[in-house]
Every structure is written in C-alpha cells, then in structure tokens.
C-alpha cells in the first residue's frame, strides 16, 4: 500500500487507499475509544501518515506465542475489533474441524485483558458454542490446566506475558480432540495457526459477528483443582525446611503460588511488597521480565533481608520461573535458564521420573549430554513451548532457556512457573537437609560434564527490517573461526525457519529473530572442562570466552 503520492509543485497528499482503509476500519470498530484514536490520526493526515501506515501494514499474525502486539487501534494492534475478528475466526475454524466441547477463556491483569476475554466469550456463544471464563485474573498455567481438566475443545488466554505495559496478546490452546495426545492442552502449531488466520481473514467485519450471552463464569473450584494438582507434583514426604523470597512482578501469580506452596507443606514465601499486587503499568521495573537487568533487584533485597535460602520470581502471567541463589559472600546470583533447566531435569531423573526430556535448539547442549549419560530419552525441538510439549507423548520434562519449564506435562502441557517453583523448592529443601545447596549441585554437574556457560546477545530494534539485514549479513559472510577455533558446522534452517547456527569444538551460536518481541537474538554457549575439580577456574575461562564470543558475533551481525 502506497502511503504518499507526490504531484509536481504541490505538497504531498495522502494516498486515497490509506485514508479509505482507515475510514472503513473506523466505521467497523466497536470500541468508542479506538474510534476516537483512529479519527485523530485520520484528521491529522498527512503528518500522521507514517503512524497510520504502520497500523495498517498488515494484521497481527500468530508468532511463537500467539497474537501479540501494542494496544492501539487498527489491524496491526491489539484492540476490540481485532479480538472480535480473531475470536470469530477461531470459533469458525473449530466448528469446521468438528471439534465439540466448550471454549475456556482466561485473562491476566493487563490493560484490556478482561474486556478481550469477555468479548471472546460472547463471540463463542453467539456462534452456538459454550464459553467458560476463569473466575478473575489468573496465571496462564491455570488456563492451560483448565483446557485439559474441563475437556475443552480449545482455550484462549489473553496475555502478553512479560512484554512491556503497552502490549497485550492472545494465546490459543487446543484440547485433545484437535490437538492429539501430545498436544492436549498445548498451544497451536501449524497448520492450525494458518487455518485460524485464514478463518480470521474470512470474517467480513467486526460488526457482522453475532454476539451471544456472557457465557459461564467458573467458580473457584477450578483454581482449587489446579492448586491440588500443583502441590501433588512434589514428594509429600520430602523436606520442607526452606525460606523463600518471592515476587510476581506486578503480575497475577502471587495468590496462586502462595496457596500452592502452603498446600504442598512449605512455609508461605515472603513477598516483595511493592510488586505483590497486579498492576498493568508494572511501575517498579523497566521491563516486567525477570531476565532483564534490574528486574529482580527488589526480590534480591528482600531475600537478603529475610535470610532466604532461595529467591523466586514469576513473570506477570506466571508461566515463567526465575531463581536467584546466595553466594558465599552474601551476594545473590540469578540462575540462567539453562542452569535451572538442567538442575530440574537432573532432579527429576534422580527421582525416577520416566519419559523423554526435551529442550530447544537454542538451549544449552548440557541436557542432551546429561540424558545420554543417564540413559534417558532426549529430544530437541524448534524454539517455543508449543514444540517442546509435542516432542514426545511420554514427555517427562521440557524447558527452554527463556525461563520456561514444564515439570508436570500430564497436568499442564505448557510452561508453568508455579509447578516449576515448587519443584525447585523441593530440590533446594532436599539439598539443604543434606547440608548442600543448588550451587553445590551445579558444581557437581560441572565436574562431570564441564562448565556449559550460556548467554545472549539481544538487540532490540525499532525497524524490523534491521533484523532481516543483520541475518543477511551473517548468512552472506559467516565466520571462519570463533574464539580462534575453526567453525566446524554452519547450519541454516531457511526456508522453514529463520535460524542460523555456527559450531566449533567448544562453542555454539544460534541466531534468530524473537517470535514475541522486536529483537534479534544470538544464543551463545562456551564449554570448558573442569575435570580437575577447579570449577571456579573453568567458569572464569568460560566467562571470558563468552565475552569474546559476544563481540565476535556482534561484528558478524553488524550490530
């Protein structure tokens, strides 16, 4: 679509197609606030042409974790019109697949979440399908659990997880009838996502979508059932002497996690007071993502002041779990997602949990080596939990380096920050009872398998074209060496996936665009052996290697 046309001797005028498209969308928009927002932009033309062009550049599409975008009017944003069309396309697709059963809907505390959930319910009932709404703002894992527990045909969770305050999103889960055994309660994958998108495009207008009643609001029994199942994930006879500091990061996980900890026999965690209440503005953090620098500062301060053994953070929709541990000098160190992932896997293997252990192509290679040494099945998938949980029907555990862990696939076929928190608490309490810590267990694994140090080079962009340009530079001029060693493998997954991998004997780099944020990510790993028992020296060497590798890859990408 051309945004501007120029006539000799005249000021630029807005192309009639852009104005017409905006006027047509405005006439169909059911939200007065969005109407006012769009009218202001239309009246501001041509000065507002760039902003208007961006909003009409195309519809939101299903990425790594469903629809996700800025809260703003127009097809390229999250708003009531987009949600109405998305819900209509979803229920039409479900009907075309012959799937029976209700649509269960959850939502977090972000701006617009409840309104989007309630509109989804009315679209479902308007199409003749039962709609079940969760009873208030709740974690994403509760919705994923409810899809299975209520034998729903599908589920919708309105959340943008750990994105900035101005974003929201729309995750879709399939029940057993359409998802199959491995995908029962899991997020959609191709070709379902393309089929739903096609159905959305077939919706003539938001105004043409019939709306029914508000559906059925579930009572607290579904929360109690989730909590009971979560508490049952840990050994009821295990040690419980553990002091935990916790933050939900202004999200919706606080009450559910505290109740689950109590039900499992742990002492209720101490909670960061100024982050305990759901707040869509996330006022104490720059980004509500425990991976981001500074996001866990309040938590670490609380942990130090309360003499905690362990510090745990959930992201705002509580599907992720971050952990920090104390050092010998009293300082606290956040565990990387790969560190916690292998600790949990090792714990479950030692506990005798049967089945396949899975992670993604961007996670550490240590899990594969652990599984090989322990004689348990291992699987590696593309990035995204929708792929991890489908790695095998007998999945025992899955994790991704971005702080996502599935410790109970039969309960929640998705990442679950509540059950992950319980499981790491179980591990820490058991180690404490024997006079050990999580740090001690990491050292034992390092001696056995080597230090597998991981990090990211993450570049946030304003123009998505910058990501494509950087990937193009890496493809056209791949490095011959990394850290002085020859690159032994260059793996390009195009056209199926925009992922590029470089390997040497002791290093690996995986480069890909983020599926949920405007970022380019390079996942770095350096392996240093510690067979002599000097883990600290091996970690220092690995850390220096990561720093050098980050600089080398930044040059390759031109960022």
Nearest Cα neighbor of 455 from 536, 358, 339 is 339
Q: Please say whether the beta carbons of 176 and 151 come within 8 A.
A: yes
Task: Decide the pairing of beta strands 310-314 and 321-326.
Answer: antiparallel
From residue 428, alpha-carbon distances to 109, 271, 409, 422, 439 in Å are 31, 18, 22, 10, 10
Q: What are phi and psi of 379, to 5 degrees?
A: -140, 150
Q: Give CA–CA dist 101/150, Å, rounded.
A: 9
Nearest Cα neighbor of 46 from 23, 76, 18, 26 is 18
From the number of C-beta atoms within 10 Å of its C-beta (0-12, 13-18, 19+), residue 219 rates as exposed
The pair of three-digit structure tokens given for residue 375, joined into one six-digit string: 């004689």
Q: Which residues contact 342 (CB under 8 A, 6 or more apart)?
A: 364, 366, 367, 370, 445, 452
The 8-class DSSP code of residue 45 comes to T
Q: Give CA–CA dist 255/277, Å, rounded.
A: 9
Nearest Cα neighbor of 132 from 114, 106, 94, 113 is 106
What would you report as the CA-atom Rg of the chain, rounded to the nearest whole angstrom? 24
In the set 34, 113, 161, 363, the catalytic residue is 161
Report the half-sphere exposure of 184 (CA within 13 A, side-chain side): 18
Nearest Cα neighbor of 56 from 28, 11, 90, 23 is 23
Q: Please say whether the beta carbons of 462 and 520 come within 8 A.
A: no
Q: Which residues contact 297 (CB under 8 A, 6 or more apart)?
A: none
Reported in sequence order, the residue ranges of 349-438 that DSSP labels E, i.e. its strands, are 356-360, 378-381, 395-400, 404-406
Q: Please say whether the beta carbons of 316 and 108 come within 8 A.
A: yes
Please, which residues bridge with residue 399 across strands?
405
Q: Please say whether the beta carbons of 299 and 246 come within 8 A.
A: yes
Q: Give CA–CA dist 473/270, Å, rounded.
A: 48
Q: Please say whether the beta carbons of 461 and 520 come within 8 A.
A: yes
Q: Helix 254-263 to helix 417-433 angle, to the nearest 10 degrees?
A: 40
Q: Please state, as a whole number, how many other Cβ atoms lie within 10 Å of the Cβ of residue 363.
A: 28
Q: What are phi and psi of 549, to 5 degrees?
A: -65, -40
Q: Is 514 a catalytic residue?
A: no
Q: Give CA–CA dist 482/152, Å, rounded.
A: 50
Q: Give CA–CA dist 506/208, Å, rounded.
A: 59
Active site residues: 161
């Amino acid at each position: 679509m051309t945004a501007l046309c120029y006539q000799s001797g005249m000021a630029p005028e807005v192309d009639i197609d852009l104005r017409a498209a905006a006027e047509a969308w405005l006439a169909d928009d059911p939200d007065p606030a969005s109407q006012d927002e769009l009218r202001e932009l239309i009246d501001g033309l041509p000065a507002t042409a760039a902003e208007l062009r961006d909003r009409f550049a195309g519809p939101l599409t299903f990425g790594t974790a469903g629809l996700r975008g800025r809260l703003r009017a127009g097809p390229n944003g999250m708003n009531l019109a987009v949600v109405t069309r998305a819900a209509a396309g979803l229920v039409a697709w479900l009907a075309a697949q012959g799937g029976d059963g209700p649509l269960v809907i959850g939502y977090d505390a972000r701006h617009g979440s409840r309104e989007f959930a309630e509109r989804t319910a009315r679209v479902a009932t308007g199409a003749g399908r039962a709609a079940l709404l969760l009873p208030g703002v709740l974690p994403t894992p509760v919705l994923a659990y409810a899809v299975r527990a209520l034998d729903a045909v599908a589920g919708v969770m309105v959340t943008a997880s750990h994105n900035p305050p101005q974003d929201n999103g729309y995750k879709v889960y399939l029940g057993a009838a359409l998802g199959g055994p491995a995908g029962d309660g899991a997020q959609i994958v191709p070709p379902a996502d393309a089929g739903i998108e096609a159905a959305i495009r077939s919706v003539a207008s938001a105004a043409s979508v019939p709306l029914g009643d508000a559906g059925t609001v579930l009572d607290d029994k579904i929360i109690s059932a989730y909590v009971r199942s979560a508490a049952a994930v840990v050994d009821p006879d295990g040690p419980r002497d553990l002091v935990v500091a916790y933050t939900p990061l202004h999200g919706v996980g606080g009450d559910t996690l505290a109740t689950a900890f109590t039900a499992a026999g742990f002492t209720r965690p101490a909670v960061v007071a100024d982050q305990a209440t759901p707040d869509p503005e996330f006022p104490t953090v720059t980004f509500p993502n425990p991976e981001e620098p500074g996001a866990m500062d309040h938590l670490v301060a609380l942990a130090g002041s309360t003499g905690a053994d362990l510090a745990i953070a959930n992201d705002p929709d509580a599907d992720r779990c971050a952990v920090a541990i104390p050092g010998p000098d009293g300082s606290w160190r956040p565990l990387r997602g790969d560190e916690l992932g292998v600790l949990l896997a090792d714990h479950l293997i030692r506990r005798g949990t049967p089945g396949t252990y899975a992670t993604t192509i961007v996670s550490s290679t240590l899990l594969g080596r652990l599984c090989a040494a322990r004689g348990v099945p291992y699987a590696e998938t593309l990035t995204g939990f929708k792929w991890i949980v489908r790695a095998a029907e007998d999945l025992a555990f899955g994790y991704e380096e971005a702080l996502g862990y599935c410790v109970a696939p039969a309960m929640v076929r998705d990442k679950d920050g509540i059950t992950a928190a319980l499981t790491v608490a179980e591990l820490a309490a058991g180690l404490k009872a024997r006079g050990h810590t999580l740090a001690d267990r990491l050292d034992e694994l390092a001696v056995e398998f080597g230090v597998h140090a991981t990090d990211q080079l993450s570049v946030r962009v304003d123009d998505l074209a910058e990501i494509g340009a950087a990937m193009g530079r890496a493809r056209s001029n791949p490095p011959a060496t990394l850290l002085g060693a020859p690159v032994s493998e260059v793996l390009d997954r195009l056209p199926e996936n925009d992922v590029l991998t470089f390997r040497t004997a002791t290093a690996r780099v995986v480069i890909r665009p983020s599926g949920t944020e405007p970022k380019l990510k390079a996942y770095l790993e350096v392996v240093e052996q510690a067979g002599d028992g000097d883990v600290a020296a091996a970690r220092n060497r690995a850390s220096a290697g990561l720093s050098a590798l980050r600089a080398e890859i930044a040059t390759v990408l031109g960022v």
